[in-house]
Amino acid sequence: MYNQNLYLIRHGETEYNKAHIIQGHVDSPLTERGISQAKTAAEELTQSDIDVIICSDLGRAVETAEIIGKKINTPIAMKTPLIRERHWGSMEGVQAEKVRGEYPQYVMEDGLLILEHDFPTAEPLMNFYDRIVTGIGKLMEEFMDKKVLMVGHKGVLNMMFAYKNKIPLEKVRQIYNPDNCTIEIY
List residues with catalytic annotation.
11, 85
Distance, in Å, from the CA atom of 51 to the CA atom of 145, rounded to the nearest integer, reads 9
Burial classification of residue 103, based on how many CB atoms lie within 10 Å of its CB (0-12 exposed, 13-18 middle, 19 or more buried): middle
Distance, in Å, from the CA atom of 68 to the CA atom of 51, rounded to the nearest integer, reads 13
CB 99 within 8 A of CB 21: no
Instruction: List, in order, residues 6 or more apart from 75 with CB less than 8 Å away.
Output: 53, 69
CB 85 within 8 A of CB 92: no
DSSP state of 93: T
DSSP per-residue codes, 25-81: TS--PBPHHHHHHHHHHHHHHTTS---EEEEESSHHHHHHHHHHHHHHT--EEEEEG
Distance, in Å, from the CA atom of 152 to the CA atom of 149, rounded to the nearest integer, reads 10
